Amino acid sequence: MTRTLLLRLLSNIRHGRLVILDRDERLELGEPSGISVEVRVLDRRAYRMVLRGGSIGLADSYAAGLWECDDLVGLVRLAARNVGGLDALRRRLAPVLIPAQRVGALVRRSTPARARRDIAAHYDLSNELFAGFLDETMTYSSAIFERPDMTLREAQEAKLDRICRKLGLNPGDHVLEIGTGWGGFAIHAAGRYGCRVTTTTISEAQRVEAQERVARAGLSHLITVLDRDYREIEGRFHKMVSIEMIEAVGWRNLPVYLRTCGELLADDGLFCLQAITIDDRAYDVEKGGRSFANTRIFPGGFVPAQTPLLRLTAKHTPMRVVHTEEIGPHYATTIARWTENFRAIGLPRLREMGFDEAFERMWRFYLGYTEAGFRERRIGNVQMMLAGPAFRGENALLRRAAGGRPVSAPVEAARDEIEEQPRAA
C-alpha cells in the first residue's frame, strides 16, 4: 500500500526523469529532458520509511542500505525542482503548524548546557574525521573560488582574507570571533594582519585542537581561545566575526544572539556575519520543523533567512547592515570538494576511527543533500557586514576592499522598512 501511494506521488515528477529499479521492474517517471537519476530499491521497507518520515526517512533508509542511487546530488536536485506543491501546502498549513512549533521550542529551550550537548554531537565526533575531508586550514564553512583552478585551501584562504579586508584589520585591532572552529580564521587574521584575536567555542575537541594549532603557528601571544558560550562573553570590541555559527543558535534564540552581538560591538565597530540562509518564504514553515539535518547531523540546528535577520537586527540591536554579499554558489563547489575528500577516506579508515558503514552512508547523503540545496538555490550563504550606530565608514570602501557587490535595492528597502519600527529596549 505504501509503495503504491509513494509511486503515485512520484508520478507527478517534472523537470527530469527518475528511474526506479525494484526487483525485476523498471519504472520510468517524469520527463526525458533535465536531470536523470536511477534508484535501485534493495529493500521495500524503504517505501514506508520515505513516505512516513520525509527527509528523515529518506536519509535513514539510505544509511540502512535499503536503496542505492547513481547520483545523490541529482536526486535531491530533482526533488527540489518538484517541491513547489509541497511548499505551497506547508505555507497554507503555517497558521496551524507555527503555534505547535513555538510550544516545541519552549519545551526544548536552548540553554548554554543544551547548546554544548548539541555542538558536541557534531563537532566533537573526531578531529581526525574532519581533518580527512577539510583542507589544511581546517575551515568548515564555504570557501570562495576566485578562480576555477583554485585548490580548496586557496579558496578557503581567499574567503578568510576577504573577511579580514572587509573588517579592515590591522595590527592595532582586537577581534572577537564567535565560533572558533579549529582556529582557521584566528590564525589567518593574527598571522597575516598582526591583530589580536579572542575566539570562543563550546566544542571541547575543537578548542583543544585550535589551541594546539595556534601554538604550532607561533601565535599564542596574539590569540586567546576561550571555552565560553556567546552569552557569557564580556567586553566591547571594534571588530567582530562569526562564520557559520549562527545556524547552531536556533530560531528562538536569534534575538538573544543578535542582541548579545550588538552589546559586544563597539559603537563605531564592524561585525562580519557569515551565515547559511534559506528562502524568506520558507522561514516560517521551517521554524521548529524536524528534518534529517537537525536530527541526524546538527541537533538543534536551524538555518535563518535574510529578511528575518534584518528585522530582528533592527528590533533588538543598534546595529545597521552596511554591506552584504551572497556567496552561495561557492558553497556547492566547496561541498563537492569535501565529498571527494570524504570518499577518499574510505570505509576501512572510518572503521579505524570508530565509525560504521551506516555513518559513512549518512554522511554521504548529508554532503550530497547539502550540495544539491546550494546548486538549486534552496539555500544560500551570505556575508553580512553589520556596523555600530557611530560607524561612519563608506560602503564603497567596503566594496573595494572585498571585491563584493553593493547592498542590493531589496535589502536597502527591507532595512528602511524595519528601521521604521520601534526597537525593543
By three-state DSSP, how is residue 381 classified?
A: strand
Domains of the chain are: 2-82 (no CATH), 112-419 (3.40.50.150)
Q: Which single residue is written with the C-alpha cell 528590533?
A: 315
Contact 198, 189 (CB under 8 A): no
Q: Which of 34, 56, 36, 33 is nearest to 46 (CA)?
A: 56
In this structure, the number of other CB atoms found within 10 A of the CB of residue 399 comes to 16
Contact 276, 265 (CB under 8 A): no
Q: What is the pLDDT of residue 237?
A: 98
Q: Is the pTM of this model over 0.85?
A: yes
User: Alpha-carbon distance 200 to 197, whole Å?
Assistant: 10
Q: Which single residue is written with the C-alpha cell 570538494?
A: 337
Q: What is the pLDDT of residue 84?
A: 67
By three-state DSSP, how is residue 320 classified?
A: strand
Q: What is the pLDDT of residue 202?
A: 96
User: Alpha-carbon distance 310 to 145, whole Å?
Assistant: 27
Give me the percent of the chain exceeding a pLDDT of 70: 86
pLDDT (tens digit per residue) in 271-280: 999 999 999 9
Q: Which single residue is written with the C-alpha cell 550540495?
A: 371
Q: Which of 84, 89, 87, 94 is nearest to 284 (CA)?
A: 94
Q: What is the pLDDT of residue 282?
A: 85
Q: Which residues of the chain have pLDDT under 70?
A: 84-110, 288, 394-425
What is the edge-to-edge ordering of all strands in the sheet holding 25-30? Answer: 25-30, 16-22, 35-41, 67-69
Q: Which of 323, 324, 314, 307 is nearest to 389 (CA)?
A: 314
- Helix (H) or strand (E) holding 102, with range, is helix 84-107
pLDDT (tens digit per residue) in 246-263: 999 989 999 999 999 999
Contact 297, 240 (CB under 8 A): no
Q: What is the pLDDT of residue 421?
A: 38
240 Cβ contact partners less than 8 Å away, ≥ 6 residues apart = 175, 176, 177, 178, 261, 264, 265, 269, 270, 271, 272
Please compute Rg for the chain using Cα positions.
Answer: 22
